[in-house]
Amino acid sequence: MKTSPSSRRGRASREADRLVDLAEGLAQSGSRAEDRFWENRLDAEIDGLITNGDEGSLNAALDRLADRESRAYEELADAIEGRVEHTVVKSSDGVRDVLLIAAPVLAWSRMPVPTRALGAAMVQSFRKMLIENVFSENTDLAIADYFFSPDQLPETFGETAELRLALTAQLSDGRLPVDTGSLNETAQFLADQRYLIGVVSAPVGSPLFRWQDGLVSRDEVMAAWRQASQAAFGQLLPACGFEPMLPRAYYVACRDADRAARPFSITASVAFLSTTLGISPSHLSAVVAGCYNRTLEEYRVGFQVAEQDDVIHGVVWPLLGAEDEMSDVVEEIEAVLREAGIQQIEILRQRMPMEYCEDCGAPMYPNTEGEMVHAELPETSESAGQHLH
């Protein structure tokens, strides 16, 4: 007998209620022993929902806790992400931890930043570099054979778990072929992120990352990875400026990349405008404005040639995590602009709308008159045909 829509909604509501209750129990726990009790119950509940493809209950519970501004929201989000990106499997080598990982790269170019299949030789090269520089010696690693854009990453918890399962099944081979025809198209930006995605496996209780051994620090691992991967990423990103980031567990690596992309986009924007217009950064000026829907959603930075009125380029700086009007975001943006060489910076204090061009959909950026306008490079300049994040 098929279930009616109303009864499905009722069941989803009950599942979401259960998740909320368990997350609040964990948030209010007063001991490690109680933590483990709630964590085990919460993990089992989440596993069942992911297995059944019940994305709605997971998101409904997160939405309810987000509205309450409760610590339980962080507990539930961490638990869901943990169950999606990590599992324990039995193999011929015994019981092993398997973790979904991402190795982000920030990149910018006048040309479209590439996405492409890696090829077997490149996958093997990255596996070798990652095991030698990032992961512990007793780990196995499988990598998806594609260089992903943010638009091509899994969109749901269920899809992310499926990717982890598919990669886990390829640990013996080390490479997961990717059906490129199923991937989303990539929006083109001057500055963007690209990702290597894989799974790393180690015996349960053994370290996955080199810094867990206590012999090297995360900073030393990062330096070794950047040096080792420079040539390989140079092949994947021709004619691009790029910055490899520390490979980590999938969700935290993606958040790291989102956060680092904001100052990177400003630095890339200044470099692009300076080279395109043939002027030094000190001849550029910037206008920063907070853009609101009902609340502050993001800051936008409009670039102008100093002493001129036209906005020639722009950058969107989205708020992340718990950032709001009280956070020191404006000060951070100003510091990044000054470090990039911009000396004339105007901060607009009025609330600006989140306006977009009706014709092309591009964000509008603030000018010194306090207006949101379309950014246009001078006609005599080389046109990028793209905008920056």
- Residues 7-55: pLDDT tens digits? 334 455 899 999 999 999 999 999 999 999 999 999 999 999 999 999 9
Across the chain, what does the average pLDDT equal?
92
CA quadruple 178, 179, 185, 188: dihedral, nearest 10: 30
pTM of the model: 0.91
Q: How many CB atoms lie within 10 A of CB 278?
A: 9
pLDDT above 50: residue 384: no
The DSSP bridge pattern shows strands 86-91 and 94-108 to be: antiparallel
Q: Which pair of tokens denotes residue 370?
A: 């306090």
Nearest alpha carbon to residue 241 among 377, 116, 105? 105
- Residues 103-158: pLDDT tens digits? 999 999 999 999 999 999 999 999 999 999 999 988 999 999 999 999 999 999 99
Give the angle subtended at the CA of 199 by the CAs of 213 and 319, to the nearest 5°: 90
pLDDT above 80: residue 190: yes
CA quadruple 240, 242, 247, 251: dihedral, nearest 10: -80
With H, G, I as helix, E, B as strand and everything else as coil, classify residue 254.
helix
